[in-house]
Amino acid sequence: MLALISTILAQLTGDGEAGLSAIGAGLGYGLAAIGPGIGIGIVVGNAITAMARQPESAGVARTTMFLGIAFTEALALIGFVVFILLYSA
Amino acid sequence: MAEQAAQPAAMGEEAPERAMATDIVRRGLIGGPVLVGVCAGVWGFDGLWSSGYALGLILINFWLAASLITWSMRISPTLLMAGVMGGYFIRLGILTGAYFLVRNTGWFEALPFVITLVAAHIVLLVWETRYVSMSLAHPGLKPQGARP
């Protein structure tokens, strides 16, 4: 979805080789966002399981979950960086 | 039955992620200017504005992530899943929108922007991780003066 939006936005402003570069950048960004999405799903799913099993340790599970989400999101940010570098090249 | 009904509310009473996000923002405001200064030194005023813009986006990103978790956790763990996944999508959308908003302006430089974006995110997280407590008594941040 993000790749599609990015590609459409890029296509509105580009042509020829720049357009192809924009499509590549958009697709790369979208593909790079899939992995962290799966990772965040795993992190949150397991945190919810931990909270359901031991409600008294919910605070610790939430702390770990927040850190896990943030570290996983760094991968998506790297994908975003590659998108910007490809798109602005 | 009453215990089961009270469980989600009890889990939402404390918000360790909010405390951590506040701490990350505080550390970002303390340490961020160093990174912004380095970018300003290399790329001039364009680097200063671009780097500052990226730092602001990262701090908003952390704060938004924590706020979404705190809000959704108060309602139900089911909404937490939806909130985090939706929040991930929304935050990436905000970052993309923020980039497209300024990419054609005269002051925007891509390189200091992306360097600050990644470096600030990772450095602030690693910095924060050193101060996180994983004990049941103190979820979130370690009490001041606690030994690691």
Three-state SS string over chain A comes to: CHHHHHHHHHHHHCCHHHHHHHHHHHHHHHHHHHHHHHHHHHHHHHHHHHHHHCHHHHHHHHHHHHHHHHHHHHHHHHHHHHHHHHHHC
Separation CA A83–CA B10 (nearest Å): 42
- pTM as predicted: 0.83
Q: Is A16 within the bounds of a domain?
A: no
Identify from A51, A62, A65, A84 which residue to disrupt to test chain B contact, counting B C-beta atoms within 10 A and taking the largest count. Answer: A62
**What pLDDT, on the 0 to 100 scale, is given for residue B8?**
45
Q: Is A13 within the bounds of a domain?
A: no
Lookup: tokens for A29: 């960004």
ipTM, 2 dp:
0.84
Name the pairing type of β-strands B139-141 and B132-134: antiparallel
Q: Is A88 within the bounds of a domain?
A: yes
Q: Is A77 within the bounds of a domain?
A: yes
Q: How confident is the model at residue B144 (pLDDT cuts 50, 70, 90)?
A: confident
Q: Is A12 within the bounds of a domain?
A: no
The mean pLDDT value for A36-54 works out to 94
The mean pLDDT value for B15-21 works out to 90
Task: Flag whether residue A41 sits within 8 Å of chain B, measured between CB atoms.
Answer: yes
> Which residues in chain B have their CB less than 8 angstroms from residue A67's CB?
20, 125, 128-129, 132
Q: What is the pLDDT of residues B31-87, one digit of tens each?
A: 999 999 999 999 999 999 999 999 999 999 999 999 999 999 999 888 999 999 999
The mean pLDDT value for B119-125 works out to 94
Q: Is A33 within the bounds of a domain?
A: yes
Of A1-15, A43-57, B46-60, the range with the lowest mean pLDDT is: A1-15
Task: Flag whether residue A27 sits within 8 Å of chain B, measured between CB atoms.
Answer: no
Distance from the Cα of A29 to chain B's closest Cα (Å) equals 10
Distance from the Cα of A60 to chain B's closest Cα (Å) equals 5
Please give the helix or strand (H or E) that residue B143 lies within, else none. none
Distance from the Cα of A6 to chain B's closest Cα (Å) equals 8
pLDDT above 90 coverage of chain A, percent: 48
Identify from A29, A66, A86 which residue to disrupt to test chain B contact, counting B C-beta atoms within 10 A and taking the largest count. Answer: A66
Q: Is A46 within the bounds of a domain?
A: yes
Which chain A residue has the Cα nearest residue B10? A55
What CATH number did the domain enclosing A78 receive? 1.20.20.10
Count how many domains chain A has: 1
Whether residue A5 and residue B62 make contact (CB cut-off 8 A), yes or no, is no
Q: Which domain holds residue A59?
A: 28-89
Q: Is A8 within the bounds of a domain?
A: no
